[in-house]
Amino acid sequence: MSSESTTTTDHDEIRSWVEEHDGRPASVRDTAGGDDPGVLRIDFPGGAGTDELEHIGWDAWFEKFDESKLAFLYQKQKADGSDSTFFRLVSR
């Protein structure tokens, strides 16, 4: 088997993949300012957690995602066929 990655800007596709993996939209704590949520992340169970991340709503997350002209690169499965939560925010 091989790992397969996909890059998308589709909000529904991103949200669906994240929620299927029990992830939540988040930003890096102490990077927000005013209406800016700060540095975007996705918080998965067992990840960085609440010490480093602050959960935010999808609307705020996607607004910053679009303003920053980001794309969502994610791995559908690992090379061994198991599920993957690998993702990266990349420039469009």
CA distance 44 to 41: 10
Q: What is the pLDDT along the chain (92 residues), one digit of tens a residue?
A: 566 789 999 999 999 999 999 999 999 988 878 778 889 999 998 776 667 898 999 999 999 999 999 999 999 888 887 888 899 999 99
Structure tokens at 53: 């991340």
Element (DSSP H or E) covering residue 67: helix 58-67
Rounded to the nearest 5 degrees, what angle is found at the Cα of 20, between the Cα atoms of 77 and 17?
A: 65
Full domain range(s) for residue 43: 4-91
Number of domains making up the chain: 1
Amino acid type, 44: F
Total-model pTM: 0.86
Strand order in the sheet with 70-77: 4-8, 70-77, 87-91
